[in-house]
Amino acid sequence: MSLFEHGVKKLHTLVKDGEVKVSELVKESFDRIDKVDGKIGAFLALNEDAFEQAKRMDDLAKSEGNPLFGLPVGVKDNIVTKGMTTTCGSQFLSNFVPAHDATVVERLHEAGAVTIGKLNMDEFAMGSSNENSSFKPVRNPWNTKHVPGGSSGGSAAAVAAGEVLFSLGSDTGGSIRQPAAYCGVVGMKPTYGLVSRFGLVAFASSLDQIGPLTRTVEDNAYVLSAIAGHCDMDSTSANVEPTDYTKALTGDIKGLKIAVPKEYFGEGVTEGVKENIRAAIAKLESLGATVDEVSLPHSKYALATYYLLASSEASANLARFDGIRYGVRAEAENLEDVFKLSRAQGFGDEVKRRIMLGTYALSSGYYDAYYKKAQQARTLIKKDFDDVLSKYDVIVGPTAPSPAFALGAQIDDPVTMYVNDILTIPINLAGVPAISVPAGLVDGLPVGLQIIGKHFDEATILRAAHAFELATGGFQLPKL
Amino acid sequence: MATINEEQVRHVAHLARLAVTDGEVKQFTEQLEKILEFAEQLNELDTTGVEPTTHVLDLKNVLRKDEVKPSLPRSEVERLAPDWEDGQVRVPAVFE
C-alpha cells in the first residue's frame, strides 16, 4: 500500500508520532517515479537535494505542527524554483535556473513540504493536451494512449499516478481543472487574486491563477490554506485573512442552492459526460441541496473572447523572451535579428500562433474590432455569473465536454483543440473560483464535476465537493 | 470573409519580432484566418454602452512605501544572461 493513500491529515499524525519518516515519504515518491514515470512523462526535473532535506527534517518532525510538514509536492514548470530549472515546457528556457522561489513555493517550503521535482506542461501553458510540451508529451495514467489534458498535464498525471501526494498547477482557461478531470484528481482554480502570482511565468495576467491538484478535497483544502493570501510582490493579490479551509468541510450541504446552466449540457458535450454529471447532480440533491436550471446566456461567446484576450496578453507578456537577459540567444549581425531569430528558434508553433494572434488583435486599426470588443464581451460574461451567483450558492456542471481524447487526435486543428476548454474558460473570464472533482468513469476514463462559486467563497465549493466525494467514494488509483 | 492575408501576417510577425519562414507565413495565414472567422461571432453581440472589463474585482490603487529592499545579486543575474561582460549584458552593435 502506498503511504499516500493516507492523505494529508493522517500522514501528519503519522509523521508527528514518528511512525512515518519524512525520508520514507520522499523515497516513496522517487521509487514510484522510477517505476512509472517512463510511461507517464510527468517530470521534467527532479530535486537532487530532496533526500538530504528529508533526512534533516526527520529529527524535527515531532515538534512540527504544520500539516504539510514533510509531504512531497510536485511543482508545475512555469512556477520558478530557486536552483532548479524552470523551463515552462519550452526550448527557450531549457537551461533557465531561477535565482529565487515563487511566493507559493516559498510558502510551501515554510510549511515544510518537500519539492520532489518540476512537472511537464504545454509550452508556456498554451494547450489542452500537454502535446505542446517542447520536451515530451505526458500520458494519462488511466490509459497511456490518451492525453492527460493541459496545460497542467504533468501536475495532474503525477498525482493520479501516485508519484507525489499533491502538486501545484496554473489555470488561465482551465489548465488545472481540465487535466484534473481527465486524470481523476481534484483540481482547484481559486478566485483571481487569492493566490500570489509572484514567480509564476505570466501567460495572461488578468486570468492566470495558481492552485492545488490533490487526491482528495480535504487535501486540496489543506494546500490552499497554505498558499492563499496577500503577497507584497503581487499587487493584484487580495487582502484576505489567512483561512483554514478544512473547517468548511462539514459534510453537510442541506439547503445548498445549486444552479445548473443549460448551456453546459449543449452541443459538443458527450452523452457519457452528460449522464455522469446528471447522476452527480442527483447525488447532490439527495444530500439535501436544491437544484434549479439557469441560463448563462453569453457562454457561447466565451471561447472567442478568451482566445482574443489571452493571446493579446500573452503577446505582451512573452515580449520579455528576447534572448538578451536569459534563455536562448541566436547569433545574428544586428540586435533586431537577435530578437527575431532567438524567438523563432525558442518558441514552438502554438506559442508563435498565439503571439501572432495577440499582436494582430492589439495592432493599430484592429484594436477596437478585436481586443476592445472582447473586453466588452467579457463584461457581459462576467455579469451572467454575477446574476446567477446573487441567487445561488454554487453553479454546477461538467468540467470538460468529453473524457481524455487520444494522443494526436486533435493536434492539427487549433479551433477544435480550443473547444476542450469551453466549460472552464468562462470561469477565468469572470474571475470566480471553481473546483473539479472526480465523478465516475466513461469507458475507463475519468469525468470531472465542476463546482463554481462566488468570488472568495472557496469554502462553499470545497464543502460541496467534499460532501460529494464522501457520498461517492473519492480517489481511485489507476492500474499502471 | 477573408480577414487576413500573407502581407499582413508578415507585418504582424515583424511587430512581434518573430522571424518566419515562407511556409510559416502560409500556415499562420490559414490558421489565423480560421481563428479570426471564429472570433467574428462576437459581432453578433450588441455592446453599445458596455464598459470593457479592465479588472474582474473592484481593485483600488495599490500603494506601498517607497523603501529600498535587497534585489537579486548581480552574480545571479550574470549567470542567467547568455552573453555578459564587465557587469553588463553584451549585444550586437545597435548603431553602425
Centroid of chain to Cα A321: 23
For the question of residue A76 being annotated catalytic, the response is yes
Q: Could you tell me which chain B residue has the CA closest to the CA of A336?
A: B17
Cell numbers at A420, concatenated: 476542450
Locus of grid cell 476592445: A372
**Helix spans in A347-402 (H):** 349-362, 373-389
- Amino acid identity, position B41: Q
Q: What is the pLDDT of residues A136-165, one digit of tens each?
A: 999 999 999 999 999 999 999 999 999 999
What is the model's pLDDT at position A65? 87
Interfacial A residues in 68-107 facing B (CB < 8 Å): 96-97, 99-100
Q: Of A235, A323, A378, which has the smallest distance from its Cβ to B53's Cβ?
A: A378
Does B1 contact A at CB distance below 8 Å? no
Q: What is the pLDDT of residues A395-419, one digit of tens each?
A: 999 999 999 999 998 766 777 777 8
Residue A84 — pLDDT band, cuts 50, 70, 90? very high
Does B87 contact A at CB distance below 8 Å? no
pTM above 0.80, yes or no: yes
Round the average pLDDT of chain A to a whole number and report it.
Answer: 96
Cell numbers at A454, concatenated: 462566488
For residue A314, which residues of chain B lie inside 8 Å, CB to CB? none
Centroid of chain to Cα A123: 14
Å between B69 CA and nearest CA of chain A: 12
Element (H, E) at A427: helix A425-430
Average pLDDT value for residue range A347-375? 95
* Record: contact B52-A375, CB cut-off 8 A: yes
Res A209 pLDDT > 70: yes
Res B96 pLDDT > 80: no
* Record: contact A304-B52, CB cut-off 8 A: no
Res B1 pLDDT > 70: no
What is the model's pLDDT at position A299? 94
* Contact yes or no for A445/A146 (Cβ under 8 A): yes
What is the model's pLDDT at position B54? 87
Considering only CA atoms, which of A227, A201, A203 is closest in space to residue A76? A201
What is the model's pLDDT at position A474? 86
For residue B51, which residues of chain A lie inside 8 Å, CB to CB? 376, 379
Helix (H, G, I), strand (E, B) or coil at A322: coil
What is the model's pLDDT at position A457? 98
What is the model's pLDDT at position A63? 84
* Record: contact A300-B41, CB cut-off 8 A: yes
Q: Could you tell me which chain B residue has the CA closest to the CA of A238?
A: B59
Average pLDDT value for residue range A266-289? 96
Residue A81 — pLDDT band, cuts 50, 70, 90? very high
Instruction: Please give the radius of gyration of chain A, using alpha carbons only, rounded to the nearest integer.
Output: 21
The one catalytic residue in A16, A21, A23, A76 is: A76
What is the model's pLDDT at position B93? 86
Return the higher-pLDDT residue of A412 and A236: A236
* Record: contact A327-B82, CB cut-off 8 A: yes
For the question of residue A175 being annotated catalytic, the response is yes
Q: What percent of chain A has pLDDT over 90?
A: 92
What is the model's pLDDT at position A195? 98
Q: Of A238, A301, A359, which has the smallest distance from its Cβ to B45's Cβ?
A: A301
Cell numbers at A379, concatenated: 463584461
Torsion angle, CA of A341/A342/A346/A348, rounded to 10 degrees? -40
What is the model's pLDDT at position B95? 78
What is the model's pLDDT at position A268? 86
Average pLDDT value for residue range A317-321? 97
Q: What is the pLDDT of residues A221-235, one digit of tens each?
A: 999 999 999 999 999
Average pLDDT value for residue range A187-206? 98
Residue A62 — pLDDT band, cuts 50, 70, 90? confident
What is the model's pLDDT at position A80? 98
Considering only CA atoms, which of A66, A70, A63, A73 is closest in space to residue A17? A63
* Contact yes or no for A398/A272 (Cβ under 8 A): no
Q: Could you tell me which chain A residue has the CA closest to the CA of B43?
A: A373
Q: Which of A55-64, A185-194, A275-284 has the lowest mean pLDDT?
A: A55-64
Q: Of A238, A333, A357, which has the smallest distance from its Cβ to B92's Cβ?
A: A333
Does B45 contact A at CB distance below 8 Å? yes
Q: What percent of chain A has pLDDT over 70?
A: 99
Average pLDDT value for residue range B48-69? 87
Q: What is the DSSP string of A395-448?
A: EEEESSSSSPPBTTSSTT-HHHHHGGGTTTHHHHHHT--EEEEEEEEETTEEEE
Res B94 pLDDT > 70: yes
Does B75 contact A at CB distance below 8 Å? no
What is the model's pLDDT at position B82? 93
**Helix spans in B16-58 (H):** 22-39
Res A255 pLDDT > 90: yes
C-alpha to C-alpha distance for A34 and A32, rounded to whole angstroms: 5
Residue A61 — pLDDT band, cuts 50, 70, 90? confident
Cell numbers at A25, concatenated: 515519504
